Structure formats: C-alpha cells, structure tokens
Amino acid sequence: MAGRFDERFLDEIKSRLRPSDVIGKTVKLRRQGREYVGLSPFTKEKTPSFYVNDDKGQFFDFSSGKTGDIITFLQETERLSFSEAVERLAADAGVPLPAVDPRAAEQEKKRQGLGDWLETAAQWFEGELRRPAGREARAYLERRGLPESEWSRFRLGFSPNGRTALKDYLIAKGAKPGELVEAGLLIAPEDGAAPYDRFRDRIIFPIADARGRIVSFGGRAMDPEARAKYLNGPETSVFHKGQVLYGLAGARKIIAAAPSGETPPLVVVEGYMDVIACQRAGLPSAAAMGTALGEEQMELLWRHHPDPTLCFDGDRAGRQAAGRVMDRALPLLRPGRSFNFALVEGGKDPDEVLREQGAAALKKQLAETTPFAEALFLRERQAAPLDTPEQRTDLKVRLRKLAATIADADLAGAYKEFLLARFDALFPRATPSPYDASAAGRALSQHGWGKRRTVLAGATPQGQRAASALAQSPLPLAAALALAAVRDPAVMETSIERISASGFGDARLDRLAQDLVSLRFEADHLDQETATRALAERGFDAGMLARLERDASRAGVAAPFLAATGERARDLWRQAYDLLMEVKSLELAVEDAIRDLERDPDMMGELISLKTLRDVLRRRLNSDWTVTEEPAMGSLH
C-alpha cells in the first residue's frame, strides 16, 4: 500500500540508512572518490559501471540505464513490491510502521486500481500519437522543436476527436465506466446520460507523482477555437493538484545524475512545454499546472533543493504570480529553505529560448537569479510612487510588516535588517537623533502605550488574578480555528506548512497544532472521529476539548466557518487563518518598531502607521465577514 507511506516517512527511513550499506549486502562495492563502484547486478559485465552515491541517496547503473534509491534497488533486485521493500527497510532502520487503517487500506486498494487504468490510458494515448489520427499533433510537436526521439521520454500522447474512443478501449480491457469517471478520464453528464471521454483532439501530457506514477493528464487543444487551450484532469482520489508538480519525477532523475558534489538549480516554470524544454537542456524543472504554487508544492520542492529557482513570465500576470508565491512562502522560510527568481530575456518563455538560442543560452539565463529578499524589496519598491514622505513611510511600514511574517525569528530579524538597509540606501538621511530616553518615553506616552502600562501596573490583586486566569485561555478566534481543524482536519490542507511553522496564532495551542499536523501526515484518512481518538491518546482529553469549545464560542461573528459546512467552511476558515496570521505579524512588527523607537525617536510616524494598520485588521477579526472571490491575505470584509 504505497499510500500508507507518505514522503516524510520515506525520508526518515532514507536518512537512517546509507545506500552503500544497503546495496553493499548484494553488490561488492569499493570506494572511488566520493562514490562506490561495483559490477552491475542487472547485467553481466567485466568492467564496473554500477555506482552508488550516499550523498544523493541514489544508485546509477550505466550498463542497464537503471537508477533509483534503496527502495527501487530492492524492488529491482529482489522483485519486492513497493510496500514490501519499505517494510524491509523500515525494520533495518528501526522506524516503526504507520498503523494500518482498514478504511485507508480499502481506499488505497481502490486508488491502485484507478492508477492501473490511468497507466493503461497513458499507453493508449502514446500509441494514438503515432497512428494516423495523430498526424496533425505530430506536425505540431515538430514545429515546436520537439522531435519524435523525445516523445517517449516525456510519454507524450494524443487523444483523438471521437467522443468515446478511450472509453471503448478501456471498457474492452475490463474497466467499468464508473471507475473511469472517478479516475478523471471520463465526464459523467449531470442529466444521467452515458459518460464520454474528457480529452478529445488534444496533445496529452501525462502528469506523474514524485515517484513517476501516472495520476492524471493535461491536454493541449489542437483546435485554435477550443474553449480551453489547456485542460487538466479534475481532482480525484489519486490526483490532488496542490500536492503534485508536473515533471518532478524527471527533475529528480536529473538531480540524481548530476556529477558528485554538484547540485543543479531546480527550476519552477509555468507550462508543460517549458518543463520539457528545461529538462531537455539538462535542467531539472517542474510546474504547478496553471495554479499558484501552494504550500505543499513548496514543501515538495524544498525536499529536493534548498532554494529552487522560480521562473515566471515577465508580463503582468507573471509578476502577479511571483508576488503570490512570495506572500505564501514568507511564513515558511527558514535557514536552508528559500527561493530564487529568474526572468528569461525579451519576454520569452524557456521553450522559446531553447528553440531559438539553444540549451546553453537557456542555462545561462536561468543561472542569473535574484535572491528572495532582493526580489521582495524590488516588488514593494515598484508597487506605488515614492514621491512624498507619506509614500516612503508606507513602503517602510510594508517592509517591516513583511519581515515579521517569517516564522523563524532569526531569519525574520535578518530580513528586517536587509530590507530596511535597502530602504535607507534609497533614501539616505541625516544622522539619526542621539538617543533620548525621555523623548522616546514622551512619544510613546502621547500615543497611549505608557498609559496602558500604568493601568496594568496599578491593577488590584483580584484584577491581576482575573488577568492571569484569562491568560490561560487562547485567543477566541485561534481557539475557533483549532476547533474547526479538529472537527474537519481537511480545512488545514492548503495551510498545512504554515500551521506547522506558526500554529493557530496562539502559543497555547502550539502543541495541538503540531499534533494535528503530525496526524495529517501519518494517516491516509483523517476525519473528526479519527483525529479526536488519536488526540486523546496524546493527552488531549474530552475536558480539554470542552474548554476549547468554550473558548471558541467567544469568537462569535469572527468565526463563521464554525456554522458553515463543506467547501464554504474551508474557504472561510482559510481566510480567517490568513487574516489572523497577518494580525500576528503586524503585532510583532509593532513590538519591533517600539524597540527601534528607543534608538530613533524620529520614526514615530512609521510606528503609528503600523499600529493603525494592526488595529484596522483587529477590528476586522471581530466583525462579520464573508468569503471573497479571490482569497488573499487581509482580503476579508
């Protein structure tokens, strides 16, 4: 059951076992530089051409062309299934296997059956490309500079224009129409009519998961008048668009085959043909298939490269896409996890550069990158005019706020220093006023901070006890977010990495957040019953759940997701979470500005702007709001 073992579990096994030790039990290896070499276990040879690289976690057999990791090696040499190989290695590594969930096991069996039909469909599409019906598709690929010798590498295919051509073929092979609808291959009309082929008269791009298993397809229309130029398969039990990157399996092979000690850039582009162009040029590449890069996709990329390069088109849409990635990535950054940005010259895309200028030119252009921090500063600097003191102060406020969204405190501080230094280089000023504690104190007092401290200091013992008791309860909205995640763990899907880094916005809920994230990655199926039972085993008992419900009830109109259901509840939850995280980052920015004010009383205007923005968002948190058309940070109203 491949689905029982998620990538984190597999990474844990691999981190504990050296490939040379595992493979060395079967193949006699000798050290050669930073690698190990031996005779191929797959072919008869006299000169060693089988290499094992512990740093990359891979083996390479040049005599047979086979490559892979320790799981692949056991599958190939001992004819074990994927699950059998993982179980063997887990025992060697001392890693306990995830508990078997009977319902999850049944679901995995079903998914495996759908996966078999997807693979059969891929083979049929490949064959159709080379048959008479695929003549125009072949000519198109040739015009795009993609010769026939490359089609098999990327498993390109063609879907003919017949309404049921694929359906008829697969049913003749034993498939049931319902299975093919569930796999995303057929469309079932709402009026109950017979299902028909989803892809018709399109060049087919198979979409594979990180291990190379087909999970869906994308199709480019041959008809220039087609309503959708590109069409992707729908969300299914085997294909979750936010968890898959087109081309990642091929990118992994290129990274693994790189010379010892070299890590080629992992490039994220916008389209199928761009991925193919980069990989043909020897650059590992992947794409998010027409959607903004999500958190789980970022995590996938970071597992394979510490700072992938994002290459978007230079037009307005491309800049907006880059901006959305920046906003999503900022809370997740930490040392060893970032992004670079690259633009190809002349408004072209990687596919055009490869065709017109060749692989060397494409590599050169994608090697010229801008680090994340610099790209972030350039975006903000270009976002609005900077002619007046108010506009320049607004830029500085935005920079400080953005730095504060980074969950890693040390990195957040480093970003703040960098961004403000870039600002100061743009607008040099006279030497700051000498530090004057009384002036800073008067400035704070004039705007209410000193008064608030006096009231707290003068509180009665009874008031102090009440405040202490209140401090034991989390923020109402944070409690509501956590409660909703316990009731429906699926609400966390699009924010799982941020929850792992930042929790639910209140430190008192951090352990619950980490437990839920851990359960989400351990279990194939996680519903309220499963989550509640598993949390109870970790010490989160019924009494604690009751207190959480009590605290969540105080959120009132600020938590409409508790009264909603289905996708609407999840959309509302995500927006509330995004807004609470934005408020928390502003609170950190305000605290940071207060500390800086003690060194530089002249920056009171910046502090007031931060506080005003924070207070506006706080009021939004406590008012009624609804889902927007395009959810974004701070987009509630």
Q: Write out the two tokens for 289.
A: 């298939």
- Is the pLDDT assigned to residue 574 strictly greater than 80? yes
Q: Which residue has the higher pLDDT, 579 or 39?
A: 39
Contact between residue 60 and residue 51 where contact means Cβ atoms under 8 Å apart = yes
List the beta bridge partners of residue 218.
205, 232
Sequential DSSP letters for 527-577: -HHHHHHHHHHTT--HHHHHHHHHHHHTTGGG-GGGT--HHHHHHHHHHHH
Q: Write out the two tokens for 621.
A: 């948190």
Does the predicted model carry a pTM greater than 0.75?
no
DSSP, collapsed to helix, strand or coil, labels residue 220 as strand
- Hey, what amino acid is at 415? Y
- By CB neighbour count within 10 A (0-12 exposed, 13-18 middle, 19+ buried), where does 6 fall? middle
Q: What local confidence, expressed as pLDDT, does residue 636 receive?
A: 29
Cα-only R_g, the chain: 28
Q: Write out the two tokens for 73.
A: 């090696």
Spatial distance between the Cα atoms of 158 and 169, rounded to a whole number of angstroms: 14
Beta strand segments in 267-416, E: 267-269, 285-287, 309-311, 340-342, 370-371
- Hey, what amino acid is at 517? V
- Is the pLDDT assigned to residue 477 strictly greater than 60? yes
238, 408, 513 from 492: Cα distances, Å: 19, 20, 10
Q: Residue 179 carries which DSSP code?
A: H
For the stretch 11-40, pLDDT in tens is: 889 989 999 999 999 999 999 888 899 999
- Pair type for strands 340-342 and 309-311: parallel
Q: What local confidence, expressed as pLDDT, does residue 380 receive?
A: 94
Q: What local confidence, expressed as pLDDT, does residue 211 receive?
A: 78
Q: What local confidence, expressed as pLDDT, does residue 451 receive?
A: 38
Confidence of residue 464 (pLDDT cuts 50, 70, 90): very low
Residues 6+ apart with CB under 8 A from 565: none
Confidence of residue 521 (pLDDT cuts 50, 70, 90): low
Compute CA 298 distance to the chain's CA centroid, rounded to the nearest angstrom: 3
Q: What local confidence, expressed as pLDDT, does residue 20 receive?
A: 94
Average pLDDT over residues 325-341: 92
Can you give the length of the chain in residues? 637
Class for domain 103-239, per CATH? alpha beta
Instruction: Show the CA angle centred on residue 257, arms to residues 254 and 262, nearest 5°.
Output: 95
- Is the pLDDT assigned to residue 512 strictly greater than 70? yes
Spatial distance between the Cα atoms of 441 and 518, rounded to a whole number of angstroms: 46
Instruction: Specify the CATH number of the domain 263-377.
Output: 3.40.1360.10
Average pLDDT over residues 297-313: 89
Q: What local confidence, expressed as pLDDT, does residue 97 receive?
A: 84
Q: Write out the two tokens for 505.
A: 């916005």
Helix, strand, coil % in the chain, rounded to nearest 5: 60, 10, 35
Given the structure tokens 């048959």, which residue do they identify?
131
The residue extents of the domains of the chain are 2-93, 103-239, 263-377
Spatial distance between the Cα atoms of 139 and 141, rounded to a whole number of angstroms: 5
Percent of the chain predicted with pLDDT > 90 = 38
List the beta bridge partners of residue 206.
217
Given the structure tokens 């010769």, which residue do they identify?
147
Confidence of residue 501 (pLDDT cuts 50, 70, 90): confident
List the beta bridge partners of residue 196.
187
List the single range of 122-126, 220-224, 534-538 with lowest mean pLDDT: 534-538
Contact between residue 312 and residue 274 where contact means Cβ atoms under 8 Å apart = no
DSSP, collapsed to helix, strand or coil, labels residue 190 as coil
Confidence of residue 336 (pLDDT cuts 50, 70, 90): confident
Q: Write out the two tokens for 552.
A: 């969540």
Q: Write out the two tokens for 147.
A: 């010769």
Q: What local confidence, expressed as pLDDT, does residue 631 receive?
A: 36
Pick from 119, 100, 609: which is nearest to 389 by CA?
609
What CATH number matches the domain at 2-93, 3.30.2180.10, 3.90.580.10, 3.90.550.10, 3.40.50.150? 3.90.580.10
- Is the pLDDT assigned to residue 152 strictly greater than 90? yes
Sequential DSSP letters for 260-304: TT-----EEESSHHHHHHHHHTT--EEE-TTSPPPHHHHHHHHHH
Characterise 16 by phi-psi region: left (phi > 0), alpha (psi -120 to 50), beta (else).
alpha
Q: Write out the two tokens for 559.
A: 């938590």
For the stretch 595-611, pLDDT in tens is: 887 777 767 878 888 88
Q: Residue 193 carries which DSSP code?
A: P
Spatial distance between the Cα atoms of 478 and 577, rounded to a whole number of angstroms: 8
Strand order of the sheet with strand 340-342? 285-287, 267-269, 309-311, 340-342, 370-371
Q: What local confidence, expressed as pLDDT, does residue 630 receive?
A: 37
What average pLDDT does the structure give for the chain? Answer: 83
Spatial distance between the Cα atoms of 178 and 156, rounded to a whole number of angstroms: 26
Contact between residue 384 and residue 395 where contact means Cβ atoms under 8 Å apart = yes
Compute CA 243 distance to the chain's CA centroid, rounded to the nearest angstrom: 7
Q: Which residue has the higher pLDDT, 7 or 335?
A: 335
Question: 96 — phi, psi (to 5°)?
Answer: -65, 140
- Is the pLDDT assigned to residue 619 strictly greater than 60? yes
